A = this chain, B = another copy of it.
Amino acid sequence: MNPQSLARACLDEMLKDDACSAALGMEVVNIDERCASVRMVVRSDMVNGHGLCHGGMIFSLADSTFAFACNSENHSALAAAGQIDFLAPAKLNDELTATATVVNQGKRKGIYDVTVVHQLQERIAIFRGHSHRLGIPTIPIN
């Protein structure tokens, strides 16, 4: 299997059980070795007390995108930490796209950066995630 096909197979395996990303309406628009892009529309149940998209929803989008990227090589990995900076507010009905790229991937520990933009490409947030490989594959190896 080439790297992109493997990344796709790992993603499919993760999505099978990922009720949360599905419930939030996330749609994967790109997946490849150590990178991923995911889209999500800000729904009325994602708005907070300031009338803006809840930071936790933006974090969730970034975190899922990060998870897909850091699990793209058939090494099951968990998020150990995440840091997010909110650059501009997202509003109801905004279409957000998060793109994750690798910063560093060691034997166990990985660092990935995610940028979240809205439909006019304004940056909404930047996210840095720290992952930890568990030492087990995501999908069975034949």
Contact = CB atoms under 8 A, between A and B. Distances in A.
Interface string A5-35: 0000000011111111111100000000000
A85 B78 contact: no
A104 interface: yes
* Secondary structure type dominating chain A contacts: mixed
A46 B17 CA distance: 11
Interface residues of A, number: 52
A51 B82 contact: no
Interface string A112-130: 0000000000010010101
Interface in A48-81: 48-51, 54-57, 59-64, 67, 71, 76, 78-81
7 contacts: A17-B49, A18-B47, A18-B48, A18-B49, A48-B67, A55-B82, A111-B126
